[in-house]
Every structure is written in C-alpha cells, then in structure tokens.
Amino acid sequence: MKTINVGICGLGTVGAGVVNVMQRNVAAIAARAGREVSITHIGARRDNPACDVGSAKVSRDIFAVVNDPEVDIVIELIGGYEPALELVMQAISNGKHVVTANKALIAMHGNEIFAAAEKQGVSVLFEAAVAGGIPIIKAMREGLAANSIEWLAGIINGTGNYILTEMRDKGRQFDDVLADAQQLGYAEADPTFDVEGIDAAHKLVILASLAFAMPLNFDACFTEGISAIAPQDVVFAGELGYRIKHLGIARKTDQGVEMRVHPTLIPQRRLIANVDGVMNAVLVKGDAVGPTLYYGPGAGAEPTASSVIADVVDVVRTIDAEPSNRVPALGVAQESLSALPILSMSDINTAYYLRINVNDQPGVLSHITQILSDSGISIEAVLQKEAVQQETNVKASSRQIPIVLITDRTLESQFMAAVESIEALDAVQDSIHFIRVESLG
C-alpha cells in the first residue's frame, strides 16, 4: 500500500516531540495505521536541536508544506489564529487532511474549518487541542457515543492547577507561585491566557460542542481567572472540607447550556479535587455510563505528540474511505448540530463560598444571615474566626474578622443581589470575596 506522507508546520516543542515519537515508534505506528507513515516535509522558521528530521525536506515557508502535492496529511503546530487559519484553510482547499493541536484556532474558527473540510471531503482532527496527552476528544466523540452527556467539568490548564496546588500545599501567595511557574516554563512571559482562564475557555468550548452536538461559540463562554484567590481562601476551603480548582464546567439544562470557567470549591473527597500540579483531568457524566474521569499530562512535548500521532493514525486508517463513513469532527455532521441557547451567569444555579471581612461587633453575623434568608438563600456551613488584635490600643469594635459561609444552591442573580445588600452593611469592610461551589456528584 502507498506510504502516507506527512507534512509538519511548526517545529517547536510539540513539533520536535512528534518527530521523535514517530521515529522511535515507526514500526508500531505503521502496524496500527495499516501502512507506512513518513514525515516528508517540515515547515519551520528555524531548526530545532531537540530532534533530527532525517531525510525530511525543510522549508522556511510553512505554506510550502500545504502546497506540496506529495503531502497527504498536514500537522499544524504553529499555534495562534493567524497565519494558522489561512494555513489550515489552504491545506483543506488542496484536499489535504489536517491534524492540529491549536485549541484557540478550533474554538474561534472551528465552525468554518469543519464546514470547509466536510465540503472538501477531508478530515480535521484535533485531539491534542484539549488536555494534551489525554485522549478526551476520542472518548467523548466515540467512546461515549451511546450516552446523552449531562455535564462535564475539567481541570484543563496545568499552569493554573500548579499555582493553586502550591498555594494550598505551601501557603504561598499567587504572585510568588506565578513567578516560579514562569521560571519553570509552565507559564508564558505573558501568563494572561493561563491565569485568567482564556486557555481553559478555548478547551471548554470544544468539549461542550462535542458533548452537546452544538456549534462552537467561544464568545458565549463565561471566563474568570484565579489571580484574586488569596491563601486564606485556600485555608478556609480546606477547613470546610473543600479544595479550590480552576474548572471549566459545561452542563445541559432544560433552559440551555452552561459554559463557564472560574475558580471552584470541590469537596476534597472527589477524585478530581486531588488532581495536583500541572496535571489535567476531565470528569464527564453520561446518562448511561455515569461519571467517568480522564487524567493525565495536559501539555509537554511527547504527551501532546502522543495525541497528534493518534490523530494521524486515525486519518490513515480511513484515508480511502468515503467521507460520509468517517467520524465527523464534532461527532455529528455539520447539518445535525443544534444552536442551543447559552445561559448567562445570572441564570446559573450553584452554591457559593463567601469571605466577608467585618468589624468585630455583636450582631453582624445575624444581619448577614437574615439578608441571605430574606433572599431565599440557605446556609450550609459557617466559619467565624477570632479577631487578632494587632495593637493593644485598638478597640474591639474596630478590629476586623473574616466570616466565611457556604450557601446552598441558588440562582446567581439572587445571590448577587444579596451580596450587594450585605456589602451595604456598616460593619462590612471591603468587597465580599466569593467563589462558586460544585459538588460534582
């Protein structure tokens, strides 16, 4: 059978990983693909000493790869929106299959990419775009095909998870841990995408589209980062039996679909609450199978290469099949996707952790609980810490103490109205800090 020729665009960390793994496991890959697979053309601005490209042609113009008539499959690893979008669309126009690790590209432009690929009769696969080496895309698109997915929740950014783990285990401040993460190479020089949840939102949008057979809609995803998390929140959460994780959550309800990325308190007995460091995990609840957890490295050269090459093998297996017999990018054909309504955060129903700094005076807690009660919000747990007197001449009434509450589930619009009323109390100092709580049971 004809050898399948692969072209790689981008020879950074992941690109070098793909080259190394394909060379090391060439026989196993050929056996699983059913024919020989060879890297014949690489587009890269510079060489990478972390790999030996062998006899592959190297071009400084990445478009030379997608325009090479000998290349059957293009692997896009340059990242970002442009020129990645132009590159992928040109590859599709040239009748080439595409494998990509570019979550931002898929989240923002996947609809047009998949439509063009379906029209052209080629495949676009993107396992490595979400959770690195964890085969979560294939699991959701094929392994859970019998299920109606009810919800999913994922730790899908290793940088944020590393920061929260260090804050919990060592009592460190956010800024200090972030600086270490940058030195270790876990965080970029500009860490905005990681710590403010944008990277996780890209991935969540992809997972939600797979779960609920709907078009990709990044602009509708609520995103909140972890930069406001204080060490005391981590400590208080632990005292209450919870851990703080930066989660991407998607849930289908009768009213529509939730898509939200934010810090979340999770009961520490849950498996996903014990996923630490730079590791990723995705918890998926199907109506037939129940909850299933997928865990592993979310980044890195060879873990990500593992997913990229698995996609290459899938393409090779079906390269001669009728396009209609291949698994569609989002599990169903483009015309079968449903544009479901995306809920705003005001319509979300969840529980809440509140940390309220108040003056140390009688009756404050009763005023707060009365406001919550009047708003129809029940309280599940309370921590009221002793005031620490910094100076002997400070009156007790002017000392501050934190009151920490966990509420039962309530509508976010109701909760926010109650928060506004509590903040108006004379005894309440500063803005109330709150974190959403999910049981994930």
Three-class DSSP labels, the chain:
CCCEEEEEECCCHHHHHHHHHHHHCHHHHHHHHCCCEEEEEEECCCCCCCCCCCCCEEECCCHHHHCCCCCCEEEECCCCCCCHHHHHHHHHHCCCEEEECCHHHHHHHHHHHHHHHHHHCCCEECHHHCCCCCCHHHHHHHHCCCCCEEEEEEECCHHHHHHHHHHHHHCCCHHHHHHHHHHCCCCCCCCHHHHCCHHHHHHHHHHHHHHHCCCCCHHHCEECCCCCCCHHHHHHHHHCCEEEEEEEEEEECCCCEEEEEEEEEEECCCHHHHCCCCEEEEEEEECCCEEEEEEEECCCHHHHHHHHHHHHHHHHHCCCCCHHHCCCCCCCCHHHCCCCCECCHHHCEEEEEEEEEEECCCCHHHHHHHHHHHCCCCEEEEEECCCCCCCCCCCHHHCEEEEEEEECCEEHHHHHHHHHHHHCCCCEEEEEEEEEECCCC
- The answer to whether 203 is a known catalytic residue is yes
Which is catalytic among the residues 96, 203, 252, 285? 203
Catalytic residues: 203
